[in-house]
Structure 1
């Protein structure tokens, strides 16, 4: 994979703030032509540096305002069971983020649902009845203080 140069990093910084920024505006800001910006963005998408172009949704405005942080503890740490748990968690659309972690718990999940009743149904679907899940611990977010997806690229510039 090619190394990222200063132009690439500047493009990424702009795209992280608004991936709908016109390429000519990006080019004017960093001193490249729109065509050069387009080629660089295309390369970064093809190589997987840019994984997706998404819209960040306000969870409250779409009535999915309950955010939960869930620690999951597995019964056994066999690779096939870890892989099975990963598939289970990533297949649930309510699971926004899934981290396989070190420490006491095996996984940390960030879950967004519209109500605690929905969360109860989710726990029945993915936790209870799964022989490899020893237990899970749920933290309910009272307020989202900060939620972001940006990587601090400006520190590399």
Structure 2
């Protein structure tokens, strides 16, 4: 399954820096979710659900699958991962998060502002000549696809 927003960010970075190494690396670090699987192109798929979610779940505070309060938030977990990577000495910016929220029954989306902010974050991370890494995620409250965009030293 492709991580479409990451593919867009990656294409924009390669266009922006044609003479700079732009690559995708596996997302390192432990993640506090029961479902954590590698996918194609180094996409890391994570989920706090180790059950089959209801088809039309809107991820309310009271999880319908377990009948109890939802004690997790994917955005917080991804931000904490970025902090741990930085604390370990990695040059990680972000995360750039595209957070899908339910707006009407059965329709979830993220705002165009989030797309522009994610692109801006990548541009700022690459504005210096030093190598950079940007953690990018398309997520909901419970599930996510994560990638690590890497920029080599600018020539």
How would you bin the TM-score normalised by the shorter chain?
A: under 0.3
Provide the TM-score with structure 1 as the length reference.
Answer: 0.27
Task: Give 1 or 2: higher helix fraction.
Answer: 1
Task: Give 1 or 2: higher strand fraction.
Answer: 2
The structure with the larger Rg is: 1
Provide the TM-score with structure 2 as the length reference.
Answer: 0.27
